[in-house]
Structure 1
Amino acid sequence: MHVLVVDDEAANRQILSTLIARTGYSVDVAAGVKDASDKLSKGDVDVALCDIRMPDGDGIELVHKFRTSGSGIDTQFIMVTAFASMETAVEALRAGATDYIVKPINEEDILHRLAQVEVMRGLREENKALRRLVAGDRSLYKFTSPAMQEVDRLISKVAGTNSTILITGESGTGKGIAARALHEQSPRAAFPFIPVNCGAIPENLLESEFFGHTKGAFTGADKARKGLFSQADRGTLFLDEIGEMPMHLQTKLLHVIEDKQVRPLGSEQTRSVDTRIIAATNRNPEEMVKEGKFREDLYFRLSMFHIRMPPLRERGSDINGLIQHLLHSAGGTWAGEAMKLDADAHDILQSYHWPGNIRQLENVVNRANILADGGCITLADLPPEVTRHSTSPSSIGTVVAQEGGLRDQMRQVEASLIAKALSDAGGDRKDAAQRLGIGLSSLYRKLEELSDLVNTDHG
């Protein structure tokens, strides 16, 4: 993740950039609004840690420029202010900021906020990946695995009811896409589908976000605002990462589900809402109940109907179709022909356990599509974490149980083939690349990767 620190004080920039760099994030700095604007315009900043008051402009205006003015930039903003007020917070969040922090900054707090943004970005990317798989089709699943056919069956059965639904499953399994499919296949499809990440809203603004507020309910509330429940009236409210919701809000959520009434902050009157609730979590809700982190009565109310999204490792028969779809979506070609996958690489991808599920599969396929030469993706184009842990048979022999054994054998085989080609070509690398059927750039890359095994001294 690439972080931009925006602060007019050099000491603050130094302290924050050093702290962030130590965590492994790439970091850049900007001394003011103009400098930051130039760097943000490049489109490669994932999150900006931005001071609000600077000599050459206002940080909130910077947020507005890049988050709500159609710039197309997907940077997330965490605002930093020395002036803690509800008015400032609301203004920043309305402008499009993700979060805000009050000075003096606590190191643990800032790293926690950055980690939250990283998780949020990951969820958005996985949802984009999954949407690409089902683009243009209201039927979510066309997979062959029994596990996914069962999910499809459950969705079709419950979509037309008003039942609350709990979707569980690992990150990347498609919980958000399942929720959207439930909405689109329901009688509520013509009304709003409102998704909200329960862990991404600052706790002191949660009630206002969910239930709304009246004009003057707090400093900065210059006009009345509908909450999420009212915005989703007659439609669906999707509560993603429900396990991150604070206990006091869980109590109020339970009352809304049971009474179908909300009371905005600052109001003495309740309003009726007809909102369907779909919740999702990648955590074990039963364990959270046992640990006292989740209300048991709310858990039972939400899980009137439970859908478990299976991880990719339980959907072996779907993997080949997903790979072919992703290759097609990536648009990779060689001499006008679509990119192909050789048998060994296919077996590796088919047998890998995919801890990151569909998002990881998409990343691996896209990476391989970029690296591959000659119109065919091979083992050498797959990342080490995939080949190292594979249990697939390969063309070089039987499975080696030790971690890294298969990769080591493949490196030895590649090194031997390259060494022989170089020898036969008299050291001419262009000729050797042609003999191997790969591009010259690929040969140079492989020589660098196998430098400990290949002797390139050929006269």
Structure 2
Amino acid sequence: MTRAINKSSKDFSRNLSQKQTLQQQLAGVLKYSKRLMQDNDLLSREESAADIAKIYALGEKLSKIVDDFSEMSGDMVHDLRTPLNGIIGYGEMLLEDFDVEVPDLQKVLSAARGFQKALETMVSCGATETINVECEADATDRETMIQGTMDSLSSMEGHQILSETIIRASILVVDDNEINRDLFSSHLGRQGHKVILAKNGREALEISANEPVDLILLDIMMPEMNGFEVLEHLKSNPNMENIPVIVISALDTIASAVRCIQMGAEDYLLKPFNPVLLKVRLNSCLEKKRLKEFSEALELHNLQEEVQFIAESKVMQNILNTVFTVSRNPINILLHGNSGTGKEVIARVIHNRSDRKKRPFVAVNCASIPENLMESEFFGYEKGAFTGADSGRGGYFEEADGGTLFLDEIGDMPMFIQPKFMRVLQEGEGRRLGSSKSFTYDLRIISATNKDLRQEVDVGRFRKDLFYRIFSVEINIPPLKDRREDIVPLALFFLNKVSKRFDKQVAGFAPDILSFFEQYSWPGNVRQLQHEVERLVAFTPEGKEILLKYCSQELLGMKNPPAITSLDDATLSLPDKIKELEINCINEALSKTGGKKMPAAKLLGITRVGLDNKIKRYGIDPSHLPATP
């Protein structure tokens, strides 16, 4: 160590012109600091602004000179940089608001003396020559310097934000240097933030785990536990991972910045910090955090609102009580019910009421994945694992790590993949295709099926051991026809939702259509009801009441509603009535689309060819149809 210091001192001493310049700047810092300290009426003097600007400018020059001494040892540079950063930081802070107070100036002077001490240590090791140069500046120099400094500050990106009201927050500052902690505390405290200080990484993690923290300012170069390690601990803990982190470091390397961002940091700023830029970045991070929390709360509210509409019947009320009970317990759940009964909605409610709500919810339909892709989709693959694998990719298990994996139609899972699922459920780990490395997963599994899995086990299409692994609680969701109390509330809920999505107002349902809905069997369950309401809103003219005649052929053909069956003087047969309804629906669809057949076919739920055939069969002329407003 002594040899390294001697070498650094000799290198430093060889460049006497640089040393002289360094001491000139330092003399100026001390001079102007003392001048401001001795002045009892700081704000009444116009020169005080120039003196503050002088401190700031001299500090910047010192920083540039220190950067030139690239051959000095890292410890020596750090000893010089620490008080130097304090000089520049306090100077910037004073320039920002001109609210000059004696304690602030004392900190400037203390930092300058610390710099002087470090400098004298180096000089005494490498040279006996002492140079004392008094740095003088006339009034013209002062005016030029203050004007240039203020112009520079005014041109900074985001300068206007200084006058705006910022978001108040609880901010944890993690830095091993006391001067830096004091500097951040003073600067952030003036903006109305609550500032919590930590002098090392372990203290920071303890505070983050036990106190509400909105944002963390994190230094990198710290003893025992550096900033990278702190960041890794924060982002691996589900209770702390969503706290935004801004790294502020003297490490001016692209590699360090990229590493921090990849590890989950929101931003990377350099020391000495720019007050204006720091304020902008702080506001940006806090606003992003606020919007994310609002979005999550809104999503949960919408899900719960939707479930409340579903749960008018006694049977669904009992099911939801079970759902709310098991949500916070880390157990796997099986949802059983016919297609369209709302199994995924229930799964999302379970996830959003659990401790995993801030982690991913990944929904996968097992029936939609080809067998030859099943393993790569769930477990991922490495580059070169198969033809076309130009790069590696994680699978659904990795994507859902820490959160919930929803396996819809699990009864359609191929037998060959089921043992691999068993290992994930049993051991909590798996491997990508083409890799020998095992990944550990922290997952909650919610499965759903419309099949009788016990029967599938009996006939050998589903493994018995997997059946008993995929759930601790089974919830059976009844079809819509078995809970008719939910039909009208659901229809009204979907009407409100669809009207907003389509930006179209209608006058509600006619009484006979709601009565018909309650009598209909709804083989497609809630999903079919939702799609029918979407179709009805599309067909109904703006501001008009939704009429029974706009219902789909599927509904009207399978069950004659009261409004159609009460034909006291009618002579039409059922085929004639169906023909009449088809013609009315086709005319309405063509009117809606201005005679365009492809959009009309989509509204009707048939193909373009099918529509053409019906137009020819019934002799409909699209060009003579009035456009529906």
Shorter-chain TM range is: 0.5 to 0.7
Matches for 1:1-400 after TM superposition, within 5 Å: 136-138=302-304, 140-142=306-308, 143-331=311-499, 338-372=506-540, 375-390=544-559, 397=566
Alpha-carbon offset, residue 382 of structure 1: 2.2
- Counterpart AA for 2:302: G
Alpha-carbon offset, residue 247 of structure 1: 0.6
Alpha-carbon offset, residue 162 of structure 1: 1.6
Q: Is the 8 A contact 1:172 1:358 kept in 2?
A: yes
Q: 5+ unaligned residues in a row in structure 1: which ranges? A: 1-131, 399-404, 416-447, 452-459
Corresponding residue for residue 93 of structure 1: none
- Counterpart AA for 2:332: T
Q: 1:196, 1:204 → 2: CA distance?
A: 16
Q: Is the 8 A contact 2:506 2:546 kept in 1?
A: no
Change (3 A) 1:285 1:318: same
Q: 1:254, 1:273 → 2: CA distance?
A: 13
Alpha-carbon offset, residue 208 of structure 1: 2.0
In structure 2, the residue corresponding to 1:277 is in which secondary structure? strand
In structure 1, the residue corresponding to 2:406 is in which secondary structure? strand
Q: 1:301, 1:337 → 2: CA distance?
A: 49
- Counterpart AA for 1:198: C
Q: Is the 8 A contact 2:364 2:406 kept in 1?
A: yes
Q: 1:368, 1:214 → 2: CA distance?
A: 49
Change (3 A) 1:134 1:406: farther
Change (3 A) 1:307 1:262: same
Change (3 A) 1:350 1:138: closer
- Counterpart AA for 1:383: S
In structure 2, the residue corresponding to 1:199 is in which secondary structure? helix
- Counterpart AA for 1:197: N
RMSD: 3.7
- Counterpart AA for 1:149: Q
Corresponding residue for residue 71 of structure 1: none
Change (3 A) 1:137 1:218: closer
Q: 1:352, 1:186 → 2: CA distance?
A: 36
In structure 1, the residue corresponding to 2:367 is in which secondary structure? coil
Q: Is the 8 A contact 1:387 1:407 kept in 2?
A: no
Q: 1:295, 1:358 → 2: CA distance?
A: 31
In structure 2, the residue corresponding to 1:366 is in which secondary structure? helix
Q: Is the 8 A contact 1:144 1:317 kept in 2?
A: yes
Q: Is the 8 A contact 2:331 2:471 kept in 1?
A: no
Alpha-carbon offset, residue 390 of structure 1: 3.7
Alpha-carbon offset, residue 323 of structure 1: 1.6
Change (3 A) 1:261 1:318: same
Alpha-carbon offset, residue 139 of structure 1: 5.5
Q: 1:200, 1:342 → 2: CA distance?
A: 39
Higher Rg? 2
Alpha-carbon offset, residue 286 of structure 1: 1.8
Q: Is the 8 A contact 1:235 1:275 kept in 2?
A: yes
Q: Is the 8 A contact 1:344 1:395 kept in 2?
A: no
Alpha-carbon offset, residue 411 of structure 1: 5.0
- Work out the percentage of aligned pairs sharing the same amino acid: 38
Q: Is the 8 A contact 2:481 2:521 kept in 1?
A: yes
Alpha-carbon offset, residue 256 of structure 1: 1.0
Change (3 A) 1:285 1:312: same
Q: 1:320, 1:330 → 2: CA distance?
A: 15
Corresponding residue for residue 100 of structure 1: none
- Counterpart AA for 1:250: Q
In structure 2, the residue corresponding to 1:354 is in which secondary structure? coil
Change (3 A) 1:386 1:215: closer
- Counterpart AA for 1:331: S
Alpha-carbon offset, residue 347 of structure 1: 1.0
Q: Is the 8 A contact 2:376 2:432 kept in 1?
A: yes
Change (3 A) 1:318 1:306: same
In structure 2, the residue corresponding to 1:218 is in which secondary structure? coil
Change (3 A) 1:160 1:339: same
Q: Deviations over 1:111-163 (max 9, x none)?
A: xxxxxxxxxxxxxxxxxxxxx99873445511311122122112111111121
In structure 2, the residue corresponding to 1:353 is in which secondary structure? coil
Bigger drift between 265-274 and 296-305 goes to 265-274
Q: 1:265, 1:394 → 2: CA distance?
A: 61
Q: Scaled by the length of structure 1, what TM-score is found?
A: 0.54
Q: 2:306, 2:530 → 1: CA distance?
A: 18
Q: Is the 8 A contact 1:211 1:227 kept in 2?
A: yes
Matches for 1:436-447 after TM superposition, within 5 Å: none
In structure 2, the residue corresponding to 1:255 is in which secondary structure? helix
Q: 1:212, 1:184 → 2: CA distance?
A: 26
Q: 1:147, 1:215 → 2: CA distance?
A: 50
Q: Deviations over 1:172-224 (max 9, x none)?
A: 11111211111111101111111112122232222222222333333333433
Q: 1:307, 1:166 → 2: CA distance?
A: 6
Q: Is the 8 A contact 1:241 1:279 kept in 2?
A: yes
Alpha-carbon offset, residue 287 of structure 1: 2.1
Q: 2:439, 2:505 → 1: CA distance?
A: 60
Q: 1:341, 1:261 → 2: CA distance?
A: 53
In structure 2, the residue corresponding to 1:376 is in which secondary structure? coil
Q: 5+ unaligned residues in a row in structure 2: which ranges? A: 1-297, 582-614, 619-629
In structure 2, the residue corresponding to 1:347 is in which secondary structure? helix
